[in-house]
Amino acid sequence: MELTQTAYKDLILGPEEGMAYGGTFVPEVLLPSLHEITDAFEEIKNDECFVAEFHHALCTFSGRPTAFTPLPRLSAMLGGAQVFLKNEGLNHTGAHKITHCIGQILLAKKLGKRRIIAETGAGQHGYATAAVCARMGLDCTVYMGRKDYERQRPNVYWMELLGAKVAAVDDGDQTLNDAVIAAFKDWVAHPESYYLLGSAVGPRPYPAMNTFFQKVVGEEIRRQCQAATGRLPDYLVACVGGGSNALGMFFDFLDDEGVTLVGVEAGGRGSAPGEHAAKMRQGKLGVFEGYHSYFLQDDDGNIAPTHSVSAGLDYCGISPILAFLADEGRVRFETASDEAALTAVKTLARTEGIIPALESAHAFAHAFELAAQLPKDCIVVVNASGRGEKDLFITMRHFQEESLRDYARHLLAF
């Protein structure tokens, strides 16, 4: 069957497994829980009351719709396309992650769940989960690789202040992948809990369910871009860790052939194994953490270590939906290095007064190169998936190392 792009949408959110990737590769003990979540997801998708409750919570708790911001000084500096950003960093807790947390926690409540398990990399998904759990009176445990726990300390503090238990994971290379494995282990031991996966990855129905909740981002961009410019964008650019902010931005535009969709992965410090997290560039097909997709692997098929300056992009796998759309040629993939992302943070801060998260800065780094080569009547929209305050100690170390040392000395003397 030749797929029309409308069929893409049906395939992605549909009840049947129709894509080349995905699936449900989990221990038997989790199958009843996954079936329960799948049935509930099928029900709520078409339940107007549930969807209205979800949108009400997005408006009243998270602050949607988020701003669609023209970047005139930056665009003039680049000398090419007009660049806009979708400011998901203005969401409560600072990133797009709260959107799927609200959706999934409403669903968990509907299922009568009392305890939520989550994993987190940059801490944004954990922070958002902790906030929504506190608001809804649910118990919350968040797993975080030790390396991420140390480099994203501000978010650990916020999660704990919100009443969540944050468990640092000492296995593996102590990043997101290890946190996901620890969360799955907890779920196997406590299948009555609800596992709130933080991206469009994992076994069915998580990739589709995450996309269903996040697609509000693209729906808003469509309206806001039409209102601001009278037409649709030419390019949408998003960073890709697991794929939630990218799919949230892209989904509504899958039918619009004139809109080019660009995912930007972490190019890290170079293309050698262990130095990056570019799954679509260098990953191989495999099955891991419950789903079939592209993963960074060594020659024996074991999961390879990853690296990125941003804790949210150094995940070893990619959403089966994005993998499928990439193979189909609908989404194009690029990389941006650590250095380019750090430079992009400063450029956006100095030209437009906006400090993006290091994850989002990868999308900006590529968008700057792209926009500079495009004619002035082109429109490029970048997903600012999060704000940069959480990266204080990482960017400060890079931009003002002496000042950070001084601050650390003061803290120690405190």
Ligand X SMILES: Cc1ncc(COP(=O)(O)O)c(C=O)c1O
| Dihedral over alpha carbons 360, 366, 372, 373 (to 10 degrees) | -150
Distances from the Cα of 295 to the Cαs of 115, 306, 338, in angstroms? 30, 11, 20
Q: Which of 312, 341, 364, 381 binds ligand X (CB under 6 A)?
A: 312
Q: Is 352 a catalytic residue?
A: no
Cβ closer to ligand X: 313 or 374?
313
Asked if 297 touches ligand X (CB under 6 A), the answer is: no
Interface residues for ligand X in 186-205 (CB under 6 A)? 199
Asked if 241 touches ligand X (CB under 6 A), the answer is: yes
Shortest separation between residue 146's beta carbon and ligand X, angstroms? 16
Length of the chain: 414
Q: Is 293 a catalytic residue?
A: no
Cβ closer to ligand X: 121 or 218?
121
Q: Is 403 a catalytic residue?
A: no
Shortest separation between residue 327's beta carbon and ligand X, angstroms? 18
Q: Which structure tokens are listed for 159?
A: 């999660």
Cβ closer to ligand X: 71 or 357?
357
Asked if 239 touches ligand X (CB under 6 A), the answer is: yes
- Which among 62, 88, 119, 199 is annotated as catalytic? 119
Asked if 320 touches ligand X (CB under 6 A), the answer is: no
Cβ closer to ligand X: 121 or 205?
121
Asked if 125 touches ligand X (CB under 6 A), the answer is: yes
Q: Which of 13, 57, 71, 95 binds ligand X (CB under 6 A)?
A: 95
Residue 188 half-sphere exposure toward CB, CA atoms < 13 A: 11
Q: Which of 80, 207, 218, 243 binds ligand X (CB under 6 A)?
A: 243
Interacting span for ligand X (CB under 6 A) from 60-68, 186-194, 233-241, 296-304: 233-241
Interface size with ligand X, residues (CB under 6 A):
21
Angle at 89 between CA 180 and CA 10, to 5 degrees: 65
- Which among 86, 97, 215, 279 is annotated as catalytic? 97
Cβ closer to ligand X: 106 or 122?
122
Cβ closer to ligand X: 80 or 213?
213
β-strand pairing of 260-268 with 165-169: unpaired
Give the x-and-dash track for 142-181 against ligand X (CB under 6 A). Answer: ----------------------------------------
Interface residues for ligand X in 370-399 (CB under 6 A)? 385-386
Shortest separation between residue 229's beta carbon and ligand X, angstroms? 25
Cβ closer to ligand X: 95 or 140?
95
Interface residues for ligand X in 345-374 (CB under 6 A)? 357, 359-360
Interacting span for ligand X (CB under 6 A) from 6-14, 118-126, 167-175, 326-334: 118-126
Check residue 260 and give left, alpha or beta (phi > 0: left; psi -120 to 50: alpha): beta
Q: Which structure tokens are listed for 347?
A: 């450029």
Distances from the Cα of 205 to the Cαs of 39, 120, 218, in angstroms? 9, 19, 21
Asked if 121 touches ligand X (CB under 6 A), the answer is: yes
Asked if 237 touches ligand X (CB under 6 A), the answer is: no
Shortest separation between residue 191's beta carbon and ligand X, angstroms? 25
On whether the CB atoms of residues 306 and 279 are closer than 8 A, the answer is: no
Cβ closer to ligand X: 95 or 261?
95
Positions annotated as catalytic residues are 97, 119, 385
Residues that bind ligand X in the complex, under the rule CB under 6 A: 95, 121-122, 124-125, 199, 239-246, 312-313, 357, 359-360, 385-386
